[in-house]
Amino acid sequence: MTVDLLYNDPALVDFYDLVNTGDAELKRCLALAGDARSVLDLGCGTGQLAVAFAEGRAVVGVDPAGAMLDVARRRSGGDKVEWIEADARSVRLGRRFDLVVLTGHAFQVFLSRQDRQAVFATIAAHLAPNGHFLFDSRNPAIEAWREWTPERSEEMVDHPRFGMVKSWYDARMEADGIVAYRTWYEIAATGQILTAESKIAFPSKEDIAAGIEAADLFAERWFGDWDGGPWTPASREIIPFGRLR
């Protein structure tokens, strides 16, 4: 994968928590954690979920983007988490965890089936015998990228340093289910524009299920949203919750 400035440019990372709240996701993850005493957060980003897990648990947050981890370390409660700069496809910590999560659609940055299979192998290598995994991916049938147009996605964001900032996206479908999209931020006070292009995959539920099975994992439940609803072909999300086979 090429370096994505959206996650590696400190100026762009500065916007991440403003436009990615994920309250329902956080609540559902905490509920599903149950009595887990250890958590591995792959693709932890700026650390919001990892820090929420850290109350009474041993938590490790892994992310390949140093700029995101810098924000995570500065976050209130960030000192309770062990942060590691590494790639979810190849990291091996020599430890097993009661819960392994990969949320915020981080799974979709792995563009090839080979890359996704490497992530499944990482999950399996770090799961405790009675542990569980949890991750999310957008349902390709919903074609969410069609909403990522300047007209449909434009909004104003109140940035603590820059003031009001206009944000928007534009996207295009490429080959093999890959969507390329560009994120734009225009600072109202100065006219400065910050932008980055990203690519994500939209694997089907069938492809995800096959990858899970090939890694000797088993999905006990399939959610279709972060409110806990069951997956259906019309669901916006594909969220497997499972364990080692």
**Whole-number pLDDT of residue 155:** 94
Mean pLDDT, consecutive 10-residue segments, the chain of 245 residues? 86 90 89 96 96 96 97 97 98 98 97 98 98 98 97 94 95 93 96 96 98 98 97 98 97
- The amino acid at 121: A
- 5-140+203-244: CATH topology: Rossmann fold (3.40.50)
Q: According to the model, what pLDDT value does residue 31 have? A: 95
Distance in angstroms (rounded) separating the CA atoms of residues 182 and 186? 13
Can you give the pLDDT at residue 1? Answer: 62
* pTM beyond 0.85: yes
- Output the pLDDT for position 21: 76
- Quick check: helix, strand or coil at residue 114? helix
How many CB atoms are closer than 10 A to CB 193? Answer: 10
Ranges assigned E (strand) in the chain? 38-42, 58-63, 81-85, 97-102, 127-135, 137-138, 155-159, 163-173, 178-187, 193-201, 217-223, 237-244
The first and second tokens of residue 96, run together, are: 């097993």
Q: Which residue has the tokens 């949203």?
A: 225
pLDDT of 177 reads 87
